[in-house]
């Protein structure tokens, strides 16, 4: 018969089918009417000629939609490709398909959309700058076997709106001729990074010009971000008195500068990215001029800059240009003016005119207290000019000079006069040197329209400083006082003298250990007597040129306190009369032995988030400090948290820290003593919260602690706590975005920290939607430092804990997930899902959609995934059915790989129904059932006899069902098996194998294998069958009888043995039989099946007999061996009372192989009873 071909969609719409019999005659058969769309239907194939009815289940096709952004995170103004994927699991195409995607606020189609589609002849509409993307007239291909048909729509989008932009296509958005649509929405998140604003600097160079001269006006754009800012546009309107004097230029990549009247505009520029902590910058350079004398401020307004990334300047920038008459006289001092020294005075004449100034003259009358130095060292660059500057005089004059003309508006002519000047005024005197306006004379009658002014202050030739090497000491501690005297003058300082009177309670130590730098102090002497309260330096000579004389002496104090050691102003003297007219000081803190410090952890948190305040008490004394009490008053808007978590490591302490309190207190505490160089410490801590956004300093004042010994803290303890609004940016994505049910997709969650502080103890829990579960082998990982990802296979939840996101950085969490339900599953982390120690969280949700196509799949895993050889692991086989109706008659066989067997105790756990059967190397299921949109597991213990990576695979199409469905992909898992290794092991068993009596007829030969009930060594299965013959107790013997001893040995470990030596002491009351086996051979050795008679002496063979009262090798020293002395020492004559038998079984590189080869033998010798 023939079945009329119809699509399942058509079948669902009709109530009957027409079958054709073998004669081609059509017969009508009734079908059950469908009142709703089912995920599959049963088509009855009737054998018209009375044959039995067969049934076969086929799955009906449905449509679905998914979408992604690539990349998922962009900088403002960058583009991301939006991909919309349309799926069709029907066996017929979906024609004339259409869908519209309305972009979220802040997202728009990129300037170059690059729109495309693979949906047949469909047309994509996406207007640059628009907010809608649509497809019309498309065709979604039919499924091919179990693989759904699919096609895509792609378009580039952009945004300058920072944050998470969630783009959602709602359910029922897809239309087509076949009336199929997406029954579930699809969402994707595009994260747009936040960028910092640009700062603007602007300025003129020079800031003062002659009328008609030119200054370069430069606007500098500073980019603090790590990416460039393209599309930079800026318009600057110049003051009306200024005009553009040349062609503006820019270093802002690809930018152009245009001029329209007073407006200068940049367009199309790129501000480069910052690197290595430095801002990126570019400039706009504008030559400007003015013929109007005056001062002209210029402003670049806030928000006047635009860029394609939406970044602007949030603050303004200002500059000022001064326009003077055509000639300018200026002056400056090129050096500092120290008392007793000189400085070079430079006078500059600037000519902005287009003609030379000839026969130029000018006089500079120096201010009172300033005179020309000796030598004057006068020079000039003014052509033909003569400088008059007499040493000791108070005037400097130029005459007969030519000042060159300007070569352009930006290059005026200049010449200079330089003369050394000095002063007899005291340190600190300010000398104002002024050349009045119109002082310049020349043939052209050009003069300076404004005065030339410069001031200089007389500075001291000597500089003085001091410091303590250890600014904090305990009572009677030692610190080194260092005094530095520097001569900055151009001549030596002689007769230098200084007395430093120490503060009360601070004295010179004993010994004082004074020292002085003879190179830079000359023949200076130091007076520093132990116990005295002053240090004196006399008759010092300090060379010129910033040389420093250094004096050092040890000081101490027996009284706690904070001491300020001051050298009063004018205490330093010299032959030249030089001094230092300011006080110099250094602070020394002498502690009682108790100090306090404090900290907040973390020290940056969000408002109302607990931070741990820890106060540390430190004892630098050699005895404990008891009864310590300290109260810490918290800063404003700070209080003890609702859960204080108060604790202390201080013994005997009582900690008072009530929830909501504004202070904490410890009392009765014992602070342990200092031990060696380690100070004693104890702490108390409590969680506190701060309610406002600010930075506060928490202080425990000096002298606020009390103790039984009367000891207190003489210095304050401070710590800062900052509260600010902290956030975390979050995105997530699946790869791939569509899977067959049961197959894995990698879910990546990206956490970004835009704050300037690390975020610690970051965590979240992701509750996945119904039907989405962790894959059989999750392979979870994170780049969040210290973080732990918890993910259990076949559960719908995973979490991160303990992670750190670096400041201004990001990290990721990845794992494999799968789905047991067909359709679109949208996984969302809601806002405030992120937790952190600092209280930072995500202010926006992040979503991603996984499309699951109807399928059946097998996945598998081992628990644990790594074991030792011969151990067992649980094999977990998961059967996934992402169709909505059940699969019956499920069967498969899993053939285990070589080296793996079903464990002796399988502990089978079958949740799939049916019957589970096993052989030594396989697991089978028959008659199982997998409910719709679900999964089931079969667990069985397996044992690894082999080692290495044992890969277990159930091949594609190995799973069979009554409905004819099968697994498209194989199910694979690898068990890592570490080979078992152990140390070598040697078993020794000793027996009496024969007794030779004086009467040969009474000789006893022990031929039975005797089991010693007190040891397990003789029960090892690797002993040879005829070994261990002999007696444990030989009975009664008489003098003259000979006993044959046999020592059996077996290598029973997993590794070979090297350097085996066996030493046996001759029993008491017996002597060694030297010719037992041949003349001079009293020892026999068998290794495996070969027996050799060995001599009694130390020769080339492996054995020797060592007589009594002589030294024997360490192998015979039982005491050292028992005590694990390595290597054992020689056995001394006194301990060798009866003699020993020593056999070197294997030596050097020779080994006694592991028993599987095999490796066994014995040593045999005789003794005679005395």
d(CA 1142, CA 1130): 13
d(CA 165, CA 140): 28
The matching CATH number, chosen from 3.10.20.30, 2.60.40.740, 1.10.10.10, 2.40.128.110, for 729-853 is: 2.60.40.740
Answer whether CATH 3.40.190.10 is correct for domain 66-192.
no
**In this structure, which topology does domain 199-324 adopt according to CATH?**
Immunoglobulin-like (2.60.40)
d(CA 94, CA 473): 87
Q: Please name the residues in contact with 1034: beta carbons below 8 A apart, sequence gap of 6 or more.
A: 992, 995, 1004, 1043
Q: CA 792, 794, 796 angle in degrees (round to 5)?
A: 80
State which residues of the chain have pLDDT below 70. 1-61, 981-983, 1013-1015, 1054, 1147-1158
Start and end residues for every CATH 2.60.40.2430 domain found in the chain = 856-978
pLDDT at 801: 97
Start and end residues for every CATH 2.60.40.680 domain found in the chain = 334-459
Cβ–Cβ < 8 Å for 764, 829: yes
User: What residues does 182 pair with on adjacent strands?
Assistant: 63
User: 993-1004 b/e with 16+ CB inside 10 Å = b?
Assistant: bbbbeeeeeeeb
Q: CA 135, 136, 140 angle in degrees (round to 5)?
A: 80
**In this structure, which topology does domain 856-978 adopt according to CATH?**
Immunoglobulin-like (2.60.40)
The matching CATH number, chosen from 3.40.50.1100, 3.30.420.10, 2.60.40.740, 1.10.8.100, for 462-586 is: 2.60.40.740
pLDDT at 677: 84
Does the pTM surpass 0.75? The reply is no
Q: Please name the residues in contact with 1085: beta carbons below 8 A apart, sequence gap of 6 or more.
A: 1091, 1092, 1094, 1102, 1103, 1143, 1145, 1161, 1162, 1163, 1164
d(CA 194, CA 163): 7
Cβ–Cβ < 8 Å for 1160, 1024: yes
Please name which of 241, 86, 250, 76 lies closest in space to residue 154, comparing C-alpha atoms. 86
Answer whether CATH 3.40.50.80 is correct for domain 334-459.
no
pLDDT at 896: 97
Strands of the 654-656 sheet, one edge to the other: 625-633, 663-671, 654-656
d(CA 1109, CA 1107): 7
d(CA 715, CA 590): 9
pLDDT at 41: 33
pLDDT at 93: 95
Answer whether CATH 2.60.40 is correct for domain 986-1169.
yes
Q: Is the peptide bond before 864 cis (omega within 30 degrees of 0)?
A: yes
The matching CATH number, chosen from 2.60.40.290, 3.30.1370.160, 2.40.50.660, 3.40.50.720, for 594-723 is: 2.60.40.290
DSSP per-residue codes, 642-654: SS---EE-SBT-E
E strand or H helix at 1119, and its extent?
A: helix 1118-1122
Start and end residues for every CATH 2.60.40.740 domain found in the chain = 66-192, 462-586, 729-853
pLDDT at 1054: 66
pLDDT at 49: 30
Cβ–Cβ < 8 Å for 607, 498: no
Torsion over CA: 997, 1002, 1004, 1005 (sign): positive
């Amino acid at each position: 018969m023939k079945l009329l071909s119809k699509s399942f969609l058509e079948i669902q719409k009709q109530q009957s089918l027409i079958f054709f019999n073998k004669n081609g005659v059509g017969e009508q058969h009734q079908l059950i009417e469908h009142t709703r769309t089912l995920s599959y239907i049963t088509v009855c194939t009737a054998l018209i000629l009375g044959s039995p009815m067969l049934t076969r289940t086929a799955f009906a096709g449905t449509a679905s939609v998914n979408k992604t952004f690539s990349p998922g995170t962009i900088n403002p103004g960058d583009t991301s490709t939006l991909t919309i994927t349309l799926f069709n699991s029907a066996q017929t195409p979906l024609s004339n398909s259409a869908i519209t995607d309305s972009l979220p606020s802040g997202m728009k189609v990129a300037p170059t959309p690059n729109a495309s589609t693979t949906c047949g002849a469909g047309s994509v509409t996406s207007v640059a700058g628009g907010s809608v993307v649509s497809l019309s007239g498309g065709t979604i291909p039919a499924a091919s076997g179990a693989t759904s048909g699919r096609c895509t729509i792609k378009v580039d989008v952009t945004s300058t709106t920072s944050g998470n932009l969630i783009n959602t296509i709602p359910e029922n958005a897809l239309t087509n001729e076949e009336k199929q649509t997406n029954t579930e929405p699809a969402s994707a998140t595009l994260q747009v990074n936040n960028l910092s604003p640009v700062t603007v600097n602007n300025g003129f160079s020079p800031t003062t010009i002659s009328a008609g001269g030119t200054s370069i006006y430069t606007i500098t754009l500073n980019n603090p971000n790590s990416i460039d800012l393209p599309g930079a546009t800026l318009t600057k309107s110049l003051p009306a008195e200024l005009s553009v004097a040349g062609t503006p230029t820019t270093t802002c990549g690809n930018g152009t500068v245009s001029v329209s009247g007073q407006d200068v505009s940049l367009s199309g520029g790129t501000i480069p990215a910052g690197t290595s902590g430095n801002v990126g910058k570019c400039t706009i350079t504008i030559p400007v001029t003015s013929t109007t004398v005056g001062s002209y401020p210029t402003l670049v307004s806030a928000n006047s800059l635009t860029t394609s990334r939406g970044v602007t300047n949030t603050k303004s920038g200002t500059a000022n240009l001064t326009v003077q008459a055509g000639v300018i006289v200026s002056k400056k001092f090129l050096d500092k003016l120290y008392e007793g020294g000189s400085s070079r005075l430079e006078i500059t004449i600037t000519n902005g005119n287009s003609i030379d100034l000839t026969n130029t003259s000018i006089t500079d009358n120096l201010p009172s207290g300033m005179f020309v130095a000796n030598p004057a060292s006068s020079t000039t660059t003014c052509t033909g000019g003569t400088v008059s500057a007499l040493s000791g005089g108070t005037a400097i004059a130029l005459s007969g000079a030519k000042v060159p003309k300007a070569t352009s508006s930006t290059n005026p002519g200049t010449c200079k006069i330089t003369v050394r000047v000095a002063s007899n005024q005291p340190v600190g005197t300010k000398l104002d040197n002024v050349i009045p306006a119109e002082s310049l004379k020349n043939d052209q009658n050009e003069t300076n329209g404004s005065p030339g002014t410069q001031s200089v202050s007389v500075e001291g030739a000597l500089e003085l400083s001091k410091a303590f090497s250890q600014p904090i000491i305990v009572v009677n501690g030692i610190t080194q006082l260092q005094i530095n005297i520097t001569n900055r003058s151009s001549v030596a300082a002689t007769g230098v003298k200084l007395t430093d009177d120490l503060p009360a309670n601070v004295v010179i130590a004993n010994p004082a250990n004074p020292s002085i730098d003879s190179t830079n102090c000359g023949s200076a002497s130091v007076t520093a007597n132990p116990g005295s309260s002053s240090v004196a330096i006399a008759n010092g000579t300090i060379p010129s040129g910033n040389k420093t004389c250094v004096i050092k002496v040890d000081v101490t104090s027996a009284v706690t306190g904070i001491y300020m050691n001051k050298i009063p102003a004018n205490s330093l003297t010299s032959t030249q009369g030089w001094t230092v007219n300011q006080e110099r000081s250094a602070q020394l803190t002498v502690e009682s032995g108790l100090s306090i410090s404090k900290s907040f952890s973390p020290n940056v948190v969000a408002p109302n988030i607990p931070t741990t305040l820890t106060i540390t008490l430190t004892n630098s004394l050699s005895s404990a400090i008891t009864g310590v009490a300290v109260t810490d008053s918290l800063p404003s808007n700070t209080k003890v948290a609702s859960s204080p978590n108060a604790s202390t490591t201080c013994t005997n302490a009582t900690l008072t820290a009530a929830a909501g309190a504004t202070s904490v207190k410890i009392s009765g505490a014992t602070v342990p003593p200092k031990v060696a160089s380690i100070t004693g410490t104890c702490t108390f801590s409590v969680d506190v919260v701060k309610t406002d956004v600010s930075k506060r300093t928490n202080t425990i004042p000096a002298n606020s602690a009390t103790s039984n010994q009367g000891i207190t803290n003489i210095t304050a303890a401070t710590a800062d706590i900052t509260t600010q609004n902290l956030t975390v940016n979050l995105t997530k994505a699946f790869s791939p975005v569509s899977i067959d049910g049961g197959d894995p997709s990698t879910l990546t969650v990206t956490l970004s920290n835009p704050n300037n502080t690390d975020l610690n103890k970051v965590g979240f829990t992701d509750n996945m939607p119904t039907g989405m579960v962790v894959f059989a082998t999750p392979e979870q990982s994170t780049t969040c430092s210290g973080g732990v990802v918890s993910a259990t296979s076949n559960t719908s939840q995973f979490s991160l804990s303990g992670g750190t996101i670096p400041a201004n950085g990001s990290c990721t969490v990845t794992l494999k997930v799968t789905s047991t339900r067909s359709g679109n599953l949208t996984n969302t982390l809601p806002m405030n899902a992120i937790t952190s120690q600092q209280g930072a969280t995500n202010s926006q949700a992040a979503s991603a959609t996984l499309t699951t196509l109807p399928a059946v799949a097998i996945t598998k895993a081992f628990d644990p995934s790594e074991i030792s050889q011969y151990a067992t692991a649980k094999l977990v086989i998961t059967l996934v059915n992402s169709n909505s109706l059940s699969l019956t008659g499920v069967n498969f066989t899993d053939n285990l790989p070589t080296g793996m067997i079903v464990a002796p105790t399988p502990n089978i756990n079958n949740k799939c129904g049916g019957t589970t059967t096993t052989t030594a190397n396989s697991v089978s299921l028959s008659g199982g059932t997998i409910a719709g949109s679900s999964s089931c597991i079969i667990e069985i213990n397996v044992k690894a006899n082999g080692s290495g990576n044992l890969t277990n695979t159930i091949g594609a199409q190995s799973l069979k069902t009554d409905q004819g469905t099968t697994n498209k992909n194989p199910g694979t898992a690898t068990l890592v098996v570490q080979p078992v290794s152990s140390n070598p092991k040697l078993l020794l068993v000793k027996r009496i194998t024969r007794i030779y009596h004086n009467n040969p007829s009474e000789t006893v030969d022990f031929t039975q294998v005797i089991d010693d009930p007190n040891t397990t060594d003789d029960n090892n299965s690797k002993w040879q069958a005829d070994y261990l013959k002999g007696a444990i107790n030989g009975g009664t013997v008489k003098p003259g009888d000979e006993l044959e001893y046999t020592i059996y040995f077996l290598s029973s470990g997993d590794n070979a043995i090297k350097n085996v030596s066996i030493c046996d002491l001759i029993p008491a009351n017996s002597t060694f039989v030297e010719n037992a086996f041949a003349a001079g051979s009293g020892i026999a050795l068998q290794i495996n099946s070969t027996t050799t008679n060995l001599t009694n002496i130390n020769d080339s063979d492996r054995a020797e007999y060592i007589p009594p009262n002589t030294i024997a090798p360490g192998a015979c020293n039982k005491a050292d061996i028992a005590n694990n002395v390595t290597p054992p020492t020689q056995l001394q004559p006194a301990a060798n009372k009866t003699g020993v038998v020593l056999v070197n079984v294997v030596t050097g590189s020779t080994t006694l192989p592991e028993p599987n080869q095999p490796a066994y033998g014995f040593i045999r010798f005789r003794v005679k009873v005395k």
